[in-house]
Structure 1
Amino acid sequence: ELYRKAINRYGIVQSMNSAGGRCHDNARCESMWARFKEELLYGRYDPTSMTVEQLKTLIWRYFISYWNNRRICSANGGLPPMVKRQQYYASQQEAA
């Protein structure tokens, strides 16, 4: 009840799926943010002492530079997402 009152006070709409309030509808997004916090924030930075602009820059650099271009992804055969995407588009060009 305390949580619901707090989100209502700030005008936040609670995210729930249409099938009865299960949290699994955004599990991938939650996993991404958990990984981001574990790999980048915890033990490396103190977000409470950073400005909003510093945090925005840190988040932008992490996702644009690391997450897309250098992060090893086991679902992609050990390749970063951008490399896998480039391989896909190259294969489409060859097929055309």
Structure 2
Amino acid sequence: MSELKAKNGNVYVSAIFDCFDLMPLGLAIEDNMKASICCHTIENARKAYPDIKGCIIHSDRGSQYTSIEYRAKLQKYGIIQSMNSAGGRCHDNARCESMWARMKEELFFSRGDRSENYTMAEPKTIIWRCYMSYWANRRICTANAGLPPAVKRKQYYQRAGIAA
């Protein structure tokens, strides 16, 4: 989860990224960081990928991810929770933290712009479009040999179909 400041409050972003191709599977953007934002992220991932059952979702040890509400949502959809057994292992979440930093830099900071210049509704739209359109379909990703996540995913399924 990440936070952006806006003119009239804070905006919180929760996302699930596939470690295979960095595709954003689920995204929720709200004005609070309660467990419900993480549950909405799971629900959005489930809507986009109905066969998500059995996947492993890793998170930090924040109260949102240890809540009864969140764990019930994971159990409902058959998702396996992965979490450090002890705190202080920041490298486990490094990939996601890096993606948050890139998003903020590319959307706001590199343009000399600040998220504080926008109302809460504006960053929600900007972030949604960034991840669900640009990031997934057009952004060059070095972890994918220079391919956007959706292109790598499409190539994988095409090769899998040939192999089958």
TM-score w.r.t. length of structure 1: 0.74
Structure 1 contact 17–23 (Cα < 8 Å) conserved: no
Taking only the aligned residue pairs, the percentage that are identical comes to 62
The residue identity in structure 2 corresponding to 1:35 is: R
Q: Which runs of 4+ in 1 moved over 3 A?
A: 14-17
2:127 to 42, 55, 59: 59
Residue of structure 1 in register with 2:90 after alignment: 23
Aligned-partner SS, 1:19: coil
Q: How does 1:1-96 map to 2 (within 5 A)?
A: 15=62, 17-44=84-111, 45-96=113-164
Cα separation, 2, equivalents of 1:64 and 1:51: 21
The farther-off stretch of 14-23 and 69-78 is: 14-23
Unaligned 5+ runs, structure 1: 1-10
Structure 1 contact 69–80 (Cα < 8 Å) conserved: yes
Aligned-partner SS, 1:36: helix
Aligned-partner SS, 2:124: helix
- Structure 1 or 2: more strand by fraction: 2
TM-score w.r.t. length of structure 2: 0.46
Q: Deviations over 1:34-76 (max 9, x none)?
A: 1111111104333112111111000001111111111111222
Residue of structure 2 in register with 1:6 after alignment: none
Unaligned 5+ runs, structure 2: 1-32, 35-60, 63-82
The farther-off stretch of 43-52 and 28-37 is: 43-52
RMSD (Å), alpha carbons: 2.5
Q: Deviations over 1:9-37 (max 9, x none)?
A: xx97x749423422222111110001111
The one of the two structures with greater contact order (alpha-carbon pairs below 8 A, sep at least 6) is 2
Q: How many residues align?
A: 87
